[in-house]
Chains A and B, each alone.
Chain A
């Protein structure tokens, strides 16, 4: 699941689609407007995002409304910040250590 999400988001057009959807649900035609590619090409990108579980489709009459599914996005974001978590914890230990060293020096 996570692999599919990362792979889907490796494309800049699909990332732009996700960014637009992050602001709220959009109709397919609305979503395609700012892109200088055909509606068919945009539809293909949307299908990739749907298969990765990032985008949900709802029928409203003749229109299809797309929205972002937050859960896989959160998973992706959490993995991306794994190294951030690692270094934040390490730097906490580092800071405690050097502050102790500094105090020891002052005593002398």
Chain B
């Protein structure tokens, strides 16, 4: 399955890109502990502490870093059951603000980590509306 979120951020595209690619800044808004080599094929580790006090480790490798435009990375966490998912951030300047599109794809469809199945999220979204 896939999660796609679009946000209009009232900040310049340079500020937004920097907040995603400067390790000191990422650590400030993500919290937790971060080690990152900001380069294509560079590896990162991000660990934050869950409400129950456990370390939740996240790992990834940068696939693309296009200044003020696009960031793509692999994303591995306990929630992906150790499988590689893909996170892509696309930035666009719109009237002095920044439109940010976050696309997290290749996420497991079930607890066992089944692969992607098209239409799954759309289906669940519609059903969830009906059963609310």
Residue positions of A touching B, CB distance < 8 A = 2-3, 6-7, 9-10, 15, 18-19, 22-23, 68, 70, 73-74, 76-77, 79-84, 86-88, 90-91, 93-99, 101-102, 105
Contact = CB atoms under 8 A, between A and B. Distances in A.
Contact of B79 (A3, A82, A99): A82
Contacts of B9: 94-95, 98-99
Interface in B1-36: 1, 3, 5, 7, 9-12, 15-16, 19, 25, 28-31
Nearest to A96: B29
Interface string B99-121: 01010100101111010010011
B75 to A, nearest CB: 10
Interface residues of B, number: 38
Closest 10 CB pairs of A and B: A6-B110, A77-B128, A70-B131, A97-B29, A22-B130, A98-B11, A102-B11, A83-B3, A80-B124, A73-B131
6 contacts: A6-B110, A83-B3, A94-B19, A95-B7, A102-B10, A102-B15
Contacts of A23: 130
Given A80-B124, A83-B79, A10 B114 contact: yes
B98 to A, nearest CB: 8
